[in-house]
Amino acid sequence: MRKTDLREVSAVEMTAAAVLGGLLALGVAMVVLLIGAVAVSNGILKQDVTPQITALACLLGGLCGGVLTCLRWRARFLPGGLAAGLVCFLLILAVGLLSGDEFSLGLQALIELAGCLCGGAVAGVLCGGWKGRRRSKARNK
């Protein structure tokens, strides 16, 4: 097998990469939400911007988790990034269900889903451009 060839990745490795990416995405999203909560409580930001903070947190979390998943799952970048975003959304949904009393998927859940999936997709597209580029033709001589 040459250095440039990609080996086949098993389903267990793909699942582990998506779960690790989703966990990293959840951690990054929680840190961004914590920073946003501190900014709102100190009066730096108004309380009206909480949906935007949530969308930003999901986007940044999905991006970081998607990059980790793409680095571990080199065969398919876009599905890897989307898988990390989906796992992040499911973890956020699970945390919300555990802390709340009722199950309701409203506008907030759609914002979180869109942010996580868009972040993962951006990570998949950005990581997809890294494969197989050569720096110059002078190296071949």
pLDDT of 96 reads 84
pTM, 2 dp: 0.80
List the domain boundaries for the chain. Answer: 11-126
Both tokens assigned to 116: 């996580």
> Residue 9, SS3?
coil
Helices then strands, counting H and E runs in the chain, come out as 4, 0
Q: What is the pLDDT along the chain (141 residues), one digit of tens a residue?
A: 555 555 566 788 888 888 999 999 999 999 999 999 999 999 898 989 988 999 999 999 999 999 998 888 777 788 888 999 999 999 988 888 888 777 777 888 898 899 999 998 999 888 876 555 555 555 555
pLDDT of 136 reads 56
DSSP 101: S
pLDDT of 31 reads 96
pLDDT of 130 reads 58
Over the range 88-113, which residues count as b (16 or more CB within 10 Å of their CB) and which as e?
Answer: bbebbbeeeeeeeeeeeeeeeeeebb
